[in-house]
Structure 1
Amino acid sequence: MNNSAIPGSWKSPLSAAMLAGAATSIGYTQVADGELYWDEIRPHEGGRRVVVSRQGDFLPAPWDAKSSILEYGGLSWLVIERGGSPALVFCNKSDQRLYLLEANSEPIALTPEPKEARSHRYAGMLQVGNEIWCIREIVEGHDCQRDLVAINFYGKLRVLESSSHFYMHPRLSPDGKHLTWMAWEHPQMPWDGTELRIADISKGELTNIRTLAGSTEESILTPEWANNSELYYISDSSGWWNIWKLSLDGAKEHIVEESAEWGMPMWQIGQRFISVLDDGRLLSIHGTPDNQRVVIVDPKSKSCTDVASPFTAFNATQSIDGDKAYIIAGGAKSPTALVEIDLATAKVVNTIWETTLPVSAEYLTTPRAITVPGKNGRLVHAILHPPQNPEYSASGAVPLLVTAHGGPTSQVSATAKLSFAYYTSRGIAVVDVNYGGSTGYGREYRNALRGQWGIMDYEDVLSVVDALVADGTADKSKVVIKGGSAGGFTVLNALVMGDVFAAGASYYGVADCETLATDTHDFESRYLDSLIGPYPERKDLYVERSPITHAERLSAPLIIFQGLDDKVVPPAQSEAFRDVCVRKGIKHRYIAYEGEGHGFIKATSIIDSLESELTFYGEVLGFTPAL
């Protein structure tokens, strides 16, 4: 074992090309007529979203089942039965139209080509008789509207409901007489306040629409029908996202009372936090970001049985097939796996699909949760990924890469991340910070960032660094920071507000809050009202919190990555900081990728950004990385 090699220069078998090759991810699952389907996002196919089953690809190239609704997309496909065979309804990426793919046929368009290309998007589909009911979004210039629509298989479209600005999670009652969905208005985000709507269905039309739960300060998530007159849903009215029961007469019952989260922020359409089993029990997910569990709930006795599993994180995409459930999971040694659960024994019994590790698992570190004291008596949560390489041993403090997640209303989990192993196998520790405002720790922690974005996230990152330097984990002179989107905002603020970090990497980071408030997409166009303050009434805060306002203080080296098709954080934000670096003569790199948006999905972009970032850190910290 080598004890003399400089951390950062350790030789690792994990290359950027290997990581990109193993970067295929799963989005959503569905069971139809006893067959399991899921979608794969494949970097080696340019990020194409492919619907597959255990029999192979169901959606042939070049078709791509990816909706741009809300800019973050979501579940944009549905397997149905047509003529005794499975068929696929999907929203196609290139034109955003709905298509029907039947057996031994080419896809046919169900929706017309709009006047403005790609301006009509669809997601959240369900079959109702001979129609597909779903959410439609129309974006024309700066105007945006959404509605619930019905589309038959001959291309005729009719509007079912259009009184709300946002819709999610439409669900049909078992008898087909009622429809429920989530709705909300600006300036709320779905984790701030939503309403549970129910409508009667009469001759295919929605009537008697009413709100039975939720408010501007209660976040209602993913209602699911228990029977024809009752349903379950997630609510944070207790301070935690828990399971509740609702009757059509308005009566409510708190099914699970636990100081733990049973929901997550809904950035996409299609997430599902509750499944109703055939015997009336419920399948859900609960726990903390470092230790989530799948759980079976008996709503009558209110007892909970955790599913035996080696995994610690789960996606809200479960599907049920009789006595079996399927869910996407992750663990310390497994980045992503699609697993089967035996509901009778409450055990994971089979792995359907999993990330193929390009190197031995001994090169993967074991992440662990840490909690450190923050400012004003607050606690700050993070996940530490120590260096790990069987050929080397770190003695003493090592370089530290601090990561700030995007959102900012999001969370990081204690699972294996090959993008982190790229660093930890080379001797660099990584700490993933769940700063104030992150989800997974209750509404109070989530709301702590209200009015404090640009202050609390930066302070919490510093608190974590201070703790890791104090306990000897991190070398104070070799701490760098990276983040994307909102995390990039934290990176830029950290670099202009102090000298803790030797360098930073901003991936499509927010540089100008005022520009973001006036030039971003509709879904997040009022997000900053809660994070900073109402605009333009508090324009002063937007200017003060913007990293670009303080850019003249920048002295640390900075590498910037940007997708040129990004509609969430436009390239101008990154270009502004590039120009500051050029003017001040600061060591920097600006790398922009054609055909990439808010998050890179092409293998070439993933490889180049990883290698460029590590090389940049090596130049700053004084090591030569083995790429």
Structure 2
Amino acid sequence: MASQAGVFWLESDPASGLNLIHTLAESGEGSVPLLPDTLGVRSQVNGYGGGALCAAPDRLFAIESSSQQIYDIMPETGIVSAVTDDASACFGGLVWDRHRERLLAVREDADGQQLVAIRQGKLETLHQGEDFYSAPAVSDSGRQLAWISWHLPDMPWVSSVLWLARVDDDGMLVDARPVMPFQSPTRACVQQPVFVGETLYVLSDHLGWWQPWQMDENRSWRCLDDTQADQASAPWQLGECQHLPLPEGGWLRVRYLSGIGGLWWQPDRDALPQQLGTSYVDFRCLTRQGDRAYCIARSSDRLDAVLSVDMETGQIHVLAGGEKPFDEVVLSSPEPFRLPESEETAFVVSGFYYPPVRSQSGQTDNAPLVMIAHGGPTAMICPVLNPQVQFLCHQGFAVAEVNYRGSSGFGRDFRLCLAGQWGVLDVQDIECAARHLVSEGKASAQAAFMQGRSSGGYTALMALVSSAYFTAGVSQFGVSDPERLRAMTHRFESGYLDWLLGSFEEVPDRWRERSPLMQADRIQQPMAFFQGGQDAIVVPEQTHRMATAIRANGRESFVQVYPDEGHGFRKASNQADMLTQLAVFYRQCLQR
């Protein structure tokens, strides 16, 4: 986040688990906290938040994690004051409207969401009636406003709509209407609208990939880059930006190829695109201030970095972060792999393999293999530095992460083919990947483990339900009872399970067949569960019921609950304990 007030970002504090605001040190390099560690910043809109920090010319606005209210922060003095006092609601997707010196935000309460403006403590509803809102964007004149909306049961990566409205002298919207890419309605996902002057740019996948489009005065669409590659990730959170149109027809964009994000820059419309920062594998939160752009960059062997990009030369400078994570410790480097093409599917499944870290011959064909299913399941794996992966590699395990069918970053068709097939295609692809790596001499044929977080935990459980290939499984706050989750889940994902498994009312038998809890008697291998005691998405009761059902079948199940964690472990002490317990569990399974 950048403005005349400076450059700001969020860093997770390992002791408290809070997201704290950081800024540049006085030297212009390195990170220092802006405030004492009492103000955690996090939005809970849609359960996954996003857009919790916003920069105005002389101040910041942030959403405090516990109250979910917006606070005004003066960087020069450190003075913090409340902007909202709305205990019934939470906020996200903050955007500063400089023309009217007001905040734009998504407000969420028990009745739904609204697009709102907040000025001098007064809240005004700009638009309502849609189920979900995101990404408000203001034109340079302040006379146009664009945003994204979508309706249940869709998720924002299945179908969403771009809206455009005029803004009157009082700041209210006039002639608000959806803008479709073609005359006839086309189901597509549109995201990240942004203006340069009065020209609107957006990313849309209506031709099969998230590609950049420009809208002219007649609201006709023109594709700016027809490369068959996603140039955005799935919009789980608000406030994301992975493309920056620039004056004179230039741009800065992220492009995903084979699970790796590249940063591409074209200084003007006549120049040839250049790839920048090739040592990094993913880029997020692009923003611009003057002639410089800023972003968060991730790599395979270093900590996340805050980068500055000179828009005239393309030169990159590391402002903060980017350190080596461990002194004198050898890291396992990711090796990309692809599964052989199959007549059964038109898609090529790929992933990243991490060999065990050894001091001797480097042989891998006797190494036990840990397969990791990413969460979402509409998410993706990039080969970024993952301490959990590195820990397992240093324990002598080979590790592989798979972008199975249904992952984002590989086009719309690949992403949507998991509809009705959750617990089948993801399981098939990961088991095929394990067998492929073993056949290539990358791991032992005698011991393969399966683990995953959240929906990846569900995939791990279903792998052990449907196959005897895996030696044991690990579920980290994973789904074990989809029917119960459907009844309890938050509004954002209330239609997601019916998309993943098929309508519960139409195919109830499929739900039972794809329920790990209902199929617990088919699990013959040991299972370990790691659970947050405050998890409101996968509640502890669900995990305990699953573990009990496995024990009732005479099989082993281990449960570790962290009372102070939610859906995902934030405190370093809990993460370290989980890794220790994980290694013990795997070693015990190998000794049987």
Structure 1 counterpart SS, 2:465: helix
**Which of 86, 96, 119 in structure 1 is aligned with 2:68?**
96
* Aligned residues of 2:332 and 2:355 also touching (Cα < 8 A): no
| 1:126 corresponds to which of 90, 96, 108 | 96
Aligned-residue offset at 1:105: 5.5
Kindly report which structure 2 residues correspond to 1:223-372, keeping only aligned pairs within 5 A, or say none. Answer: 223-228=193-198, 230-297=199-266, 300-301=269-270, 303-315=272-284, 317-360=285-328, 362-372=330-340
Aligned partner of residue 581 in structure 1, secondary structure: helix
Partner of 1:571: 540
Tell me the secondary structure at the aligned position of residue 158 of structure 1. Answer: strand
Letter in 2 for 1:207: V
User: TM-score, normalised to structure 1's length?
Assistant: 0.88
Q: 2: distance between equivalents of 1:576 and 1:510?
A: 11
**Could you tell me how far 1:579 is from its partner in structure 2?**
1.0
Corresponding pairs, count: 580
Q: Using the TM superposition, name which of 600-609 and 576-585 deviates more.
A: 576-585
String of CA shifts for 1:14-44, please: whole Å, max 9, x gaps: xxxxxxxxxxxxxxxx111162111111122
Please, which runs of 5 or more residues in structure 1 have no aligned partner? 1-29
Task: Summarize the Cα distance change of 1:330–1:120 in structure 2 as closer, same or farther, 3 Å threshold.
Answer: closer
Question: Which amino acid counterpart does residue 43 of structure 1 have in structure 2?
Answer: P
Contact kept, 8 Å, 1:261 with 1:442, in 2: the verdict is yes
Distance 1:475 1:206 in 2: 63
1:469-548 → structure 2 map (5 Å cutoff): 469-548=438-517
Q: Is the 8 A contact 1:40 1:52 kept in 2?
A: no
Match of 2:85 among 102, 112, 131: 112
Among 564, 581, 585, the residue aligned to 2:550: 581
Question: What is the identity, as a one-letter code, of the residue corresponding to 1:39?
Answer: L
For 1:137, the equivalent position in structure 2 comes to: 108
Sort the Cα spacing of 1:566 and 1:302 in 2 relative to 1 into closer, same or farther, 3 A. farther
Structure 1 residues 205 and 518: CA distance shift in structure 2, 3 A: same
Deviation, 1:338, is: 1.8
SS of residue paired to 2:486: helix
Query: Shift of residue 595 of structure 1?
Result: 2.4
Alignment of 1:416-431 (within 5 A): 416-431=385-400
Deviation at 1:106, TM superposition (A): 4.2
**C-alpha separation between the residues in 2 aligned to 1:568 and 1:367?**
34
What code does the residue aligned with 1:77 have? L
**What per-residue deviation string (whole Å, max 9, x for no partner) do you get for residues 358-388 of structure 1?**
2335333243233344571443211111112
1:80 aligns with 2:56: yes
Alignment check: 8 A CA contact 1:281 1:298 kept: yes
- Distance in 2 (CA, whole Å) between partners of 1:367 and 1:491 is 23
Q: 1:436 to 1:374 in 2, by over 3 A?
A: farther
- Judged with a 3 Å threshold, the aligned counterparts in structure 2 of structure 1 residues 622 and 217 are, in CA distance, closer, same or farther, namely same
Please tell me whether residue 210 in structure 1 is matched to residue 183 in structure 2. no
Q: Secondary structure at the match of 1:566?
A: coil
Q: Which runs of 5+ in 2 are unaligned?
A: 27-31
Change (3 A) 1:105 1:464: closer
Q: 1:109 to 1:251 in 2, by over 3 A?
A: same
Whole-angstrom CA distance in 1 between matches of 2:134 and 2:328: 41
CA deviation after TM superposition for structure 1 residue 113, in Å:
4.4
Amino acid paired to 2:62: F
Structure 1 residues 289 and 326: alpha-carbon distance in aligned structure 2, compared to 1, 3 A threshold: farther
Structure 2 residue identity aligned to 1:368: P
Q: 2:11 aligns with which of 40, 63, 68?
A: 40
Seen in structure 2, the aligned counterparts of structure 1 residues 395 and 518 have a Cα distance that, compared at 3 Å, is closer
* 1:61 maps to 2:37: yes
Of the structure 1 ranges 412-421 and 170-179, higher mean CA displacement relative to structure 2 is found in 412-421
Aligned-partner Cα distance in 2 for 1:290–1:390: 29
Question: Structure 1 470/277 Cα, relative in aligned 2: closer, same or farther at 3 Å?
Answer: same
Matched, 1:171 2:137: yes
Q: Does the aligned pair in 2 maintain the 1:394–1:427 contact within 8 Å?
A: no
Q: Distance in 2 between matches of 1:355 and 1:410?
A: 26
2:86, 2:59 → 1: CA distance?
22
Q: Which residue of 2 aligns with 1:151?
A: 118
Q: CA deviation at 1:325?
A: 1.9
Q: CA shift at 1:335, angstroms?
A: 4.2
1:537-590 deviation digits (Å, cap 9, x = unpaired): 332222221111210111211110111222222222212211113323422211
CA contact 1:362–1:390 (8 Å) conserved in 2: no
For residues 430-489 of structure 1, what are the alpha-carbon distances to aligned partners after superposition, in whole Å with 9 as ceiling and x for unaligned? 000111001111111111111111111111111111111222222122110110111001
State the shift of 1:289 in Å.
4.4
Q: What CA RMSD, in Å, does the superposition of the two structures yield over aligned residues?
A: 2.1
Match of 1:208, SS state, is: strand
Task: Kindly state the Cα deviation for residue 508 of structure 1 after the two structures are TM-superposed.
Answer: 1.0
Structure 1 pair 184–168 and aligned structure 2 pair: CA distance change class (3 A)? same
* 8 A Cα contact 1:557 1:586, kept in partner: yes
Query: Is the CA contact 2:149–2:163 (under 8 Å) kept in the aligned structure 1?
Result: yes
**TM-score (structure 2 length as normaliser):** 0.93
Deviations 1:88-108 (A, max 9, x none): 211111111111123436422
3-state DSSP class of the match of 1:589? strand
After superposition, the Cα gap between the structure-2 partners of 1:265 and 1:584, relative to the gap in structure 1 and judged at 3 Å, is same
Query: Contact 1:374/1:380 (CA < 8 Å) preserved in 2?
Result: no
Identity %: 28
Contact 1:362 1:389 in 2 (8 A): no
Following superposition, the deviation at residue 513 of structure 1 comes to 1.6
Give the counterpart letter for 2:241 in structure 1. R
- Residues 407/374 of structure 1: CA separation in 2 closer, same or farther (3 Å cut): farther
